[in-house]
Structure 1
Amino acid sequence: MPEIATFVAELREAFGDATINEAVARGKAGEPTFFARENGRTVGTKSADAFNRWPADGSVRDRHYCAGCDGSCVGTGRRYSERR
């Protein structure tokens, strides 16, 4: 799961090892705190509601994080306030 591993590493950088390790461990234990799927492999527990689920096609750009956002700022380190 190389893409998921890269994503989780970026989450660890942003939120700290302890926070992400706890979320992953709780997801593996059956809580809906972490779920990943890549190349037919899954880890963790899916969210029970559709609101918090990742889009079925895996698209990030189709999600709008704030009014007028197309997702192109994701991963750039720019804050929303810097877009104006």
Structure 2
Amino acid sequence: MDMRVRKPVSHPMPEIAGFVADMKAVFGEQEIDDAIRRGKAGEPPFYACENGHTVGTATSAQTNVWPVDRAVRDRHYCAGCDGSCVGTAKSCSA
């Protein structure tokens, strides 16, 4: 029997590993594991890159870019808002 103490191996993608652990806690292990498995199989539901390591399937940047104009970017949400303030320069009165 080997009695040597093994030093813990650091994860090559520690921030992604933490993020994935958080997502599993929120959405469930099965759903997140399925997305990762599909990403590794060539589908686009999962892609991660950290410290020169990549996992999953990257998609074209053109399909993931949504242009957002300043009016949408500066928008805020108010409790009880009916949406009538959207596109105006003022906050809603809700």
Range of TM-score over shorter length: 0.5 to 0.7
- Answering whether residue 28 of structure 2 is matched by residue 16 of structure 1, we say yes
**4+ residue segments displaced more than 4 Å:** none
Of the two, which has the highest radius of gyration?
Answer: 2
Secondary structure at the aligned position of 1:68 is classed as coil
Contact 1:27 1:44 in 2 (8 A): yes
TM-score where L is the length of structure 1: 0.60
Distance in 1 (alpha carbons) for counterparts of 2:76 and 2:50: 30
Q: CA RMSD in A?
A: 2.5
Please state how far the C-alpha of 1:67 moved relative to its aligned partner: 2.9
Q: Does 1:51 align with 2:65?
A: yes
Q: 2:46 is matched by which residue type in structure 1?
A: F
C-alpha deviation, 1:39, in angstroms: 0.8
TM-score (norm 2): 0.54
Match of 2:37 in 1: 25
Gaps of 5+ in 2: 1-12, 67-72, 80-94
2:65 is paired with a residue whose SS is helix
AA in 1 matched with 2:48 = A
Paired residues in the alignment total 59
Asked whether 1:38 is paired with 2:50, we answer: yes
